[in-house]
Amino acid sequence: MPQQLGIHTVADARRLVEASSLTHIKIGLSDIDGIMRGKLMRRDKFLSALDSGLAFCDVVFGWDSNDQLYDNVRYTGWHTAYPDAHLRIVPESARRLPLERGAGGEEMLLFLAEFVEDAAQICPRRLLHRVIERGRDMGFDAFAALEYEFFVFDETPQSVREKNYRNLKNWTPGNFGYSMLRSTVNSDFYHQLLDMCERMDMSIESLHTETGPGVLEAAIAFDEAGASADKGFLFKTFAKVLAQQNNLMATFMAKWSHDHSGQSGHIHVSLNDRKTGKSAFFEEGAEYSMSATQRAFIAGMQRYLPEFMAMYAQTINSYSRLVPGYWAPLDATWGAENRTTALRLIPGGPKSQRVEVRIGSADANPYIALAAALGSGLYGIEQQLSPSEIVTGNAYDQQFPAELKLPLTLWEAAQRLRTSSAARTVFGDAFVDHYAATREWEENAYRRHVTDWEMARYFEII
């Protein structure tokens, strides 16, 4: 069963820490790219921070995934001298870390944290919770579940660098989706992963091989939307930790090789009516059991998917996955139980009626991607939008109107987000300006490099 620490308040967290033998406590937070940043805090300082918060350098919003400082953002930089921002420890996020123990042998404690005051405007976790609050004000509670595909390699951080990321050895060979053979032969790692996730309250609902050498797909059990994003954030970090402790490496890159399919990060979303506690998406007897609320929600997701694409596909590499024939839709389409469309309506009973966003990649920040999905759907309800005609059959073989076309590069996606009035209404100017600038930085950083493909294609011939 998931580990239940019973922590809901600051007082609960204080009692937990005071009862432990740990001299230091870990805190973790999400940067813009969804990378967990954090530190170990001495016990007495942590207890003080539970009440008053703590200062944390805002450079975590001023650099990229490689710690290179942005030169095109206004929020922080050399012009502000990288001051401290105020951070709040989230008591209910407390977890034991089964992969790490203190000097006395007790499992380490980890708490998530989020930025408050001015920094809250661009903090990914706070972004999502503002969208959740928007839904509550509309009368809805949001629920979500995240699925991740990730490749595992028989490599170490040292060996991949020594090989210059070439000729990497996959954990297992060949294409073998849903393999019982692989999951039994390699059962030690499977069960370590399952046990870790159970104990860290991010239970895996299903785990199986996908088609490709060493690729797995993990579906994390559904929860309230904020808790679900926390679980996705924790899963991506600690799946990699567990792999490296086993002399393996896991990557959530959208596409690590042109020879293999990309890695998706699917998002399942549903709404409940706050007054009744019942599904706001399910309607008995309606076509596909789809309520008017769900139709408007899907319409909003579809309408704003091209504008919000940078929040689902956040890296240069994300767009290497978005090519024909690789299980990644290129248009903002929707269908019922259709895995070729960007949005998949999943009909079911009151507990299972939902919509799946299939366009996102595994490299996305779960807070930002879920905020995009939920925010666009809620905005569709507010505007009483209607979706386009439902797609039947293979969406890859069909033509769609130009307004449904998705951006094909990170730069284009960033421009669509920057100029989106809907994004500014739902997410705020501060976030849109900062986030779009960080994606532009990423594109510019890429353009400064010459790829192996360019060398092989042009060096001799041109």
Does residue 90 share a domain with residue 180? Answer: no
Q: What is the pLDDT of residue 329?
A: 79
* Model pLDDT, residue 330: 85
Regarding whether 209 and 73 lie in a shared domain, the answer is: no
Q: Which of 84, 119, 154 is at the close of a domain?
A: 119
Domain of 48, CATH number, reads 3.10.20.70
| Domain end point (choices 67, 91, 119) | 119
Q: Report if residue 396 sits inside a domain.
A: yes
Domain count of the fold of the chain? 2
Shared-domain flag, residues 332 and 432? yes
Residue pLDDT, tens place only, 67-88: 999 999 999 999 999 999 999 9
pLDDT of residue 321: 85
Q: Is 140 in the same domain as 87? A: no
Spans in the chain with pLDDT lower than 50: 1-2
Q: Are residues 399 and 291 in the same domain?
A: yes
pLDDT of residue 260: 87
446 shares a domain with 421:
yes
What is the token pair recorded at 345?
């309506």
Domain boundary among 119, 154, 170: 119
Determine, yes or no, domain membership for 189: yes
Q: How far apart, in whole angstroms, are the C-alpha atoms of residue 247 and residue 252?
A: 17
Give the per-residue pLDDT at 5. Answer: 84
**SS3 readout for 312-362:** HCCCCHHHHCCCCCCCCCCECCEEECCCCCCEEEECCCCCCCEEEECCCEC
Nearest to 377 by CA among 392, 396, 358, 355: 355
Domain ranges, residue 102: 10-119
In a domain, 423, yes or no: yes
Structure tokens at 211: 């088609």
pTM: 0.96
For residues 81 and 152, state if they share a domain: no
pLDDT at 4: 62
Specify the CATH number for the domain of residue 321.
Answer: 3.30.590.10
Asked whether residue 462 is domain-assigned, the answer is no
Task: Indicate whether 2 belongs to any domain.
Answer: no
196 in helix, strand or coil?
A: helix
On whether residue 124 sits in a domain, the answer given is: no
